[in-house]
Amino acid sequence: MSFTFAHISDLHLGNMPKVSFLQLMGKRLTGYLSWHLNRKGHHRLEVLDALKEDLQKQQPDHICITGDIVNISLPNEFRQAQAWLEDLGASDQLSVIPGNHDAYVANTLNLWQDTDFPFVHKKDGVAFIGVSSAVPMPPFIAAGKIGDEQLAKLAQILKETESEGLTRVILIHHPVQHHRKIWRKSLWDTDALKKVIKENGAELVLHGHIHKPLFEEIEGKNGKKVPVYGAGSASLYDPKKGHMAHYQLFNVGKGQISVSHHVYEPSSHSFIQTDIHY
């Protein structure tokens, strides 16, 4: 029997709600301006509608979302996001982690109020392990950090789920290798994360953040390689640069994991399965 799951990321849900002057104080002001001057044209709700339609056709057993659901972490953005996610699937069918845009400022209502990271969702022989790299940062910094406490728990979870014979899928917003040298966008404790994965192994790592598909390999346990797949943005519409929304579909069966890629095609207003050349 095989199990399929979709990986989508970086929705940047539009419909920016009305914002008060007080709410724009601090980092939100730069994010708000960036949304209206730039991002608004490139992240489209109609593309997300097409994605939802495609997922309804594909009928994956589970859906993983690796962050940047909203833009500047306004309480009303999270309320809209909650409704969008409820329409996408039942809560036990979704594993959702935050990205840097979901932790734009500290102490705001969000979707993860009652979530301890890393979480583990076990479904049909697969363990989805959700790690948060989302921490509030100063303006113009989109970096991420996991922290020692989460890393220690992650090591423990990887050990336990390995002994249970589960296929371990780590979800994290920031890429493991990419952006490594770009301080303001990278995962600051990536070396510590790689050490945990090298010591304990994992079958797959999924991330978002860079808004284009990415594939890398990192070292796992006993010399085994661990595939790392990045999903593009699920709402992206940028014909000038030729960048369109992307999501990926994984199939787990008989110890093997396969992937297919699905990219938004404006002419048919639908997602088309296609090969990706990294």
Residues that bind Fe ion (CB under 5 A): 10, 68
Which residue has the CB atom at the shortest distance from Fe ion?
68
Q: Which is nearer to Fe ion, 138 or 253 (CB)?
A: 138
Instruction: Tell the smallest beta-carbon distance from residue 75 to Fe ion (Å).
Output: 20
Cβ-Cβ contacts under 8 Å for 228 (sequence gap 6 or more)? 175, 176, 177, 204, 205, 206, 207, 214, 215, 216, 217, 218
Encoded tokens for 122:
């076990």
Q: Which is nearer to Fe ion, 97 or 202 (CB)?
A: 97
Instruction: Tell the smallest beta-carbon distance from residue 14 to Fe ion (Å).
Output: 13
Query: Can you tell me the distance from the alpha carbon of 164 to that of 24, in angstroms, rounded to the nearest whole number?
Result: 47
Q: Which is nearer to Fe ion, 68 or 203 (CB)?
A: 68
Q: Which is nearer to Fe ion, 68 or 77 (CB)?
A: 68
CA angle 102, 104, 108 (to 5 degrees): 80
| Count of helix runs (H) and strand runs (E) in the chain | 6, 14
Instruction: Tell the smallest beta-carbon distance from residue 104 to Fe ion (Å).
Output: 11
Instruction: Express the helix, strand and coil content of the chain in percent, nearest 5 each.
Output: 30, 30, 40
